[in-house]
Amino acid sequence: MAWLRSLARFSRATKPYAADLPLFPRGGGAAASFCTGVAEAGFSGLGPTEPGGEAKPRVVVLGTGWAGSRFMKDLDTRAYDVVCVAPRNHMVFTPLLASTCVGTLEFRSVAEPIGRIQRAISTAPGSYFFLANCTRVDPDAHTVECETVTDGSTDTLKPWKFKVSYDKLIIACGAEASTFGIHGVKDHAIFLREVHHAQEIRRKLLLNLMLSDVPGITHEEKTRLLHCVVVGGGPTGVEFSGELSDFIIRDVHQRYSHVKDYIHVTLIEANEILSSFDVRLRQYAINQLTKSGVRLVRGIVKDVQPEKIILDNGEEVPYGLLVWSTGVGPSPFVRSLTFPKSPGGRIGVDEWLRVPSVQDVFAIGDCSGYLESTGKPVLPALAQVAERQGKYLASLLNRISKAGGGYANTAADIDLGDPFVYRHLGSMATVGRYKALVDLRKSKEAKGLSLAGFISWFIWRSAYLTRVISWRNRFYVAINWLTTLIFGRDISRI
Amino acid sequence: MAWLRSLARFSRATKPYAADLPLFPRGGGAAASFCTGVAEAGFSGLGPTEPGGEAKPRVVVLGTGWAGSRFMKDLDTRAYDVVCVAPRNHMVFTPLLASTCVGTLEFRSVAEPIGRIQRAISTAPGSYFFLANCTRVDPDAHTVECETVTDGSTDTLKPWKFKVSYDKLIIACGAEASTFGIHGVKDHAIFLREVHHAQEIRRKLLLNLMLSDVPGITHEEKTRLLHCVVVGGGPTGVEFSGELSDFIIRDVHQRYSHVKDYIHVTLIEANEILSSFDVRLRQYAINQLTKSGVRLVRGIVKDVQPEKIILDNGEEVPYGLLVWSTGVGPSPFVRSLTFPKSPGGRIGVDEWLRVPSVQDVFAIGDCSGYLESTGKPVLPALAQVAERQGKYLASLLNRISKAGGGYANTAADIDLGDPFVYRHLGSMATVGRYKALVDLRKSKEAKGLSLAGFISWFIWRSAYLTRVISWRNRFYVAINWLTTLIFGRDISRI
């Protein structure tokens, strides 16, 4: 039992982030640790690498979204060590997230662990994934300060802070759902951006379906519980409404036949739904959704209360489930950064996606936008923009490494090659009942192919199936679609 | 927008369970509603059925475990309406639950919605599933009192009470994990009986793996975080330990290679592990587990603190994850019932599984046990006992219905046929690394076939695959096993 005793030899006086402990990163032989370097701050962490030392230059990536994940996937890990700092250890395949809310797909089929996207993070001695939020960037010292995410689920482990030195910093931490300052949204509505949002929607939907069948509930209360309100008529809101109506038409009618006449879906949008799509497709979507029983309401939400929302014309809309998808805006972290901003408050970048006021800092995805000085418009917050930027930046950093500029402050004079150019490949959205829209125009004003219907739906499914990153998840998405077709959606509330 | 207005016409003064509302159950034309019947109690609910009326006799089933689910599956729903009252809407395939904690199987593959087990519950006008706990049984009035389960996830919906009249009552609400009154178990340990337990274990395990890799953590804290302690050496504890060591050997070594040398599993048992198995198999299990790196400790837990447990010899065992599986005992609901009890405090039943002191009440599964007067020993709390009892009782009730005794108080003189007889088919347990034990002896003392190793493991897997209830889940269990073999276990922390 000697091992038990050695486990038990705990000193409660020892702080987990005390600066005097041997916290030197394994494998980083040439690195200087913060344990001594910045002891005055009381932080430990990964110290700077040294050109000519054993350690490769270190790329720190903030975020595991489309931009960061694609960047890490394509980065040459023979040339760089990768340290990823993010509050979740997986990428979410967001275009299919709406399907998981009703069980068309399972949650894990749309989540891709970052260690599967870039294996070096799991295995290379100098590459890490840290479950943490970045709280501060010090571009002069080339460090980021981070705080661990423990989300309250461990009994006594308090979050702690640490520092990581970077040779290159990639800010890809995304945006946050915008509420336009409307009161009550954060308290009562559910966003649809993370897997846990989809889980919450599914649990709540199934709970409401079951509770509305229990004796003692009034007609009004039942109608409210089963009223699903979606605010925001962009692709996410429309696709979720379509999935919901599919779920109602097929699964609720079969499995909750007692309450099937009470459930309704309402989609509230202040302007046009799917405003980026061709007008013909928009009309098609409106017809399809209406045919599926989705009520389309044009209105502006003024206030969100626990059981009802108030529209600007004073109308009250009772709801049992409220999903909010009205686009995104800069996160508090992005707002806290002192870098010059693009129009709209994103981190300003030049045409090579650099933050031009400092060395070795790049920003990609929804958190970044072209500076006004570039003369280019800020790109839309789309997965395809983020992914293309990640891909471009990985090849840029691979090029920089080949030219000998991998370490901090060594890339100033390197030829960066062509700047990033975004070419829109088109947009897709499904509207339920095996129907979708495909708009292949290059921009909102351009002419080009656009189609709607079953063939579009088939294109939509095939296209996304090929875009799913791992073979494992591609397999599971296909299997989920198959079993949903054969057996219907799973209604276990787990 | 008239529909919006009609939705909005809420009267906040109306209580959801006010007794003066039209709460008559749809389809129950001949039934008298509680709305008038027991208005003095302020409850609504389903009133009694009337022999000769339109409504079929109503069987109320408390619980969706092995016993209740098998009973509902086999009940003749042309003869009876079924009302199931339970705090979860699915049955859990418990023998495979341990596999879901590390991702060998997915959670939904082991959960079977009750509406899929007995379709009448989803579709028949007089059959229902109520997400609720039974709080009181009134055998004289032939009613149960229930309270809805809203588990805090709806914003403002408070739990409410209702009553259901029964013609036959089947109590199959199971047992609860026993803690032997040890302080801190409920606060700090995780049981392994429900899907949400397995989800909690998986999330905590992945969180600890990630946090232990973050700079600033001490060697001791890392060792503690990655120390998984299992208390209880029955089949559940052993199978979970085996799954954990499989996960460590294959997946942690591949995907968390930085911390792979810190993770350890300890199994603590006061007596013998797998005490119901043949001594040869027991020794095999000990050898296998030890070979996989599981440390077996014989000891009694005295106290559970947030980060360590104290054994009776004073030894302290720090842990990061503590799983408790030391068997089951009567739940507070069972203890609150005034029926005569069996040895061990379960609901006492006769050889036909009736509660003999009252009419039309039966008890099956872990919550019930033979009365001492039957001269039979209380059966062990096993899935196969519960399932066999559910099957027997369904055929008994089908027989009673055929003899015209379906309604309340009409079955006193009906010939019940043969009493329930339990024949033990044997026990199985997997110990990890494609090895399992199969013990086909009829009882602990009897002689019979017992084998261990890969062939047993193959028998174990095949046997359980055929026992999984729906084709959908059978398919998913097979697919999960296949992808775990090919791609490894999924480590997304969602």
Chain A residues within 8 A of B3 when measuring between CB atoms: 295
Residue A255 in contact with partner chain B when CB distance is under 8 A: yes
B contact test, residue of A97, A144, A208, A490 with most B CBs within 10 A: A490
Q: State whether B16 and A218 contact (CB < 8 Å).
A: yes
Chain B residues within 8 A of A150 when measuring between CB atoms: 207, 211
CA atoms within 13 A on the CB side of A240: 34
Closest CA–CA distance from residue B96 to any residue of chain A (Å): 15
Residue A418 in contact with partner chain B when CB distance is under 8 A: no
Q: What is the mean pLDDT of residues A456-477?
A: 92
Q: What is the mean pLDDT of residues A244-250?
A: 95
Whether the Cβ atoms of residue A383 and residue A364 lie closer than 8 Å to each other: no
Structure tokens at A84: 């990823």
The SS3 call for residue B325 is coil
- Assign B156 a pLDDT band (cuts: 50, 70, 90): low
CATH fold of B17-175+330-402 reads FAD/NAD(P)-binding domain (3.50.50)
Q: How far apart are the first and last CA of chain A?
A: 39
Closest CA–CA distance from residue B99 to any residue of chain A (Å): 16
Residue B204 in contact with partner chain A when CB distance is under 8 A: yes
Closest by CA to B10, choosing from B150, B153, B156, is B156
Q: State whether A131 and B7 contact (CB < 8 Å).
A: no
- Assign A442 a pLDDT band (cuts: 50, 70, 90): confident
Q: Kindly report the CATH number that applies to the domain delimited by B185-328+425-487.
A: 3.50.50.100
Burial class (CB in 10 A: 0-12, 13-18, 19+), B451: middle
Q: What is the mean pLDDT of residues A147-168?
A: 84
B contact test, residue of A84, A101, A211 with most B CBs within 10 A: A211
Phi, psi dihedral angles at A62 (to 5 degrees) = -100, 110
Query: Nearest residue on chain A to B489, judged by CA atoms?
Result: A472
Chain B residues 278-297 with CB within 8 Å of chain A: 295, 297
d(CA A42, CA A20): 9
Closest by CA to A165, choosing from A51, A79, A83, is A83
d(CA B469, CA B74): 12
- For residue A132, give Cα distances in angstroms to A110, A160, A173: 22, 9, 12
Query: Nearest residue on chain A to B39, judged by CA atoms?
Result: A216
Chain A residues within 8 A of B9 when measuring between CB atoms: 220
Q: What is the mean pLDDT of residues A303-313?
A: 95
Whether the Cβ atoms of residue A469 and residue A387 lie closer than 8 Å to each other: no
Closest by CA to B82, choosing from B112, B114, B113, is B114
Residue A97 in contact with partner chain B when CB distance is under 8 A: no
Model ipTM value? 0.90
In sequence order, the 6+-apart residues with CB closer than 8 A to the CB of A319 are A224, A227, A228, A229, A307, A308, A309
Q: What is the mean pLDDT of residues A303-328?
A: 96
B contact test, residue of A258, A308, A474, A479 with most B CBs within 10 A: A258
Structure tokens at A34: 């913060």
Give me the residues paired with residue A148 across strands.
A132
d(CA A201, CA A320): 11
- Assign B421 a pLDDT band (cuts: 50, 70, 90): very high
Whether the Cβ atoms of residue B289 and residue B296 lie closer than 8 Å to each other: yes
Whether the Cβ atoms of residue A146 and residue A130 lie closer than 8 Å to each other: yes
HEC per residue, chain A: CHHHHHHHCCCCCCCCCCCCCCCCCCCCCCCCCHHHHCHHHCCEEECCCCCCCCCCCEEEEECCCHHHHHHHHHCCCCCCEEEEEECCCEEECHHHHHHHCCCCCCHHHHEEEHHHHCCHHHHCCCCEEEEEEEEEEECCCCEEEEEECCCCCCCCCCCCEEEEECCEEEECCCCEECCCCCECHHHHCECCCCHHHHHHHHHHHHHHHHHCCCCCCCHHHHHHHCEEEEECCCHHHHHHHHHHHHHHHHHHHHHCCCCCCCCEEEEEECCCCCCCCCHHHHHHHHHHHHHCCEEEEECCEEEECCCEEEECCCCEEECCEEEECCCEECCHHHHHCCCCECCCCCEEECCCCECCCCCCEEECHHHEEECHHHCCCCCCCCHHHHHHHHHHHHHHHHHHHHCCCCCCCCCCCCCCCCCCCCCCCCEEEEEECCEEEEECCCCCCCCCCEEEEHHHHHHHHHHHHHHCCCHHHHHHHHHHHHHHHHHCCCCCCC
Reply yes or no on whether the pLDDT at A15 is more than 90.
no
Amino acid identity for residue A354 in this structure:
R
Of A156, A196, A266, Cβ closest to residue B306: A156
Phi, psi dihedral angles at A251 (to 5 degrees) = -90, -40
pLDDT tens readout for residues A46-103: 999 998 888 999 999 999 999 999 999 999 999 999 999 999 999 999 999 999 999 9
CA atoms within 13 A on the CB side of A266: 24
Q: What's the CATH class of domain A2-175+330-402?
A: alpha beta
Chain A residues within 8 A of B297 when measuring between CB atoms: 1, 4
d(CA A369, CA A377): 8
Q: State whether A297 and B4 contact (CB < 8 Å).
A: yes
HEC per residue, B61-101: EECCCHHHHHHHHHCCCCCCEEEEEECCCEEECHHHHHHHC
pLDDT tens readout for residues A109-134: 999 999 999 999 999 999 999 999 99
Q: What is the mean pLDDT of residues B278-297?
A: 96
Phi, psi dihedral angles at A309 (to 5 degrees) = -110, 150
Let me know the angle formed at the C-alpha of B251 by B273 and A484, rounded to the nearest 5 degrees. 95
Structure tokens at A390: 């990640």
Chain B residues within 8 A of A476 when measuring between CB atoms: 479, 483
Q: What is the mean pLDDT of residues B337-366?
A: 97
Segments making up each domain of chain A, as ranges: 2-175+330-402, 185-328+425-487
Burial class (CB in 10 A: 0-12, 13-18, 19+), B459: middle
Residue A207 in contact with partner chain B when CB distance is under 8 A: yes
pLDDT tens readout for residues B98-146: 999 999 999 999 999 999 999 999 999 999 999 999 999 999 999 999 9
pLDDT computed for residue A155 by the predictor: 58
Closest by CA to A38, choosing from A136, A130, A148, is A136
pLDDT computed for residue B42 by the predictor: 58
Q: What is the mean pLDDT of residues B460-479?
A: 92
Chain A residues 10-49 with CB within 8 Å of chain B: 10-11, 14, 16-18, 21-23, 25-26, 34, 43-46
Average per-residue pLDDT for chain B: 89
Would you say how long chain B is, in residues? 494
* Torsional sign, CA A201, A207, A213, A219: negative
pLDDT tens readout for residues B42-68: 578 999 998 888 899 999 999 999 999
Whether the Cβ atoms of residue A186 and residue A332 lie closer than 8 Å to each other: no
pLDDT computed for residue B39 by the predictor: 35
Q: State whether B317 and A7 contact (CB < 8 Å).
A: yes
Provide, rounded to the nearest whole percent, the portion of chain B with pLDDT above 90.
84
Query: Nearest residue on chain A to B216, judged by CA atoms?
Result: A17
Average per-residue pLDDT for chain A: 90
Of A113, A150, A211, Cβ closest to residue B157: A211
Chain A residues 328-357 with CB within 8 Å of chain B: none
pLDDT computed for residue B445 by the predictor: 78
- Assign B152 a pLDDT band (cuts: 50, 70, 90): low
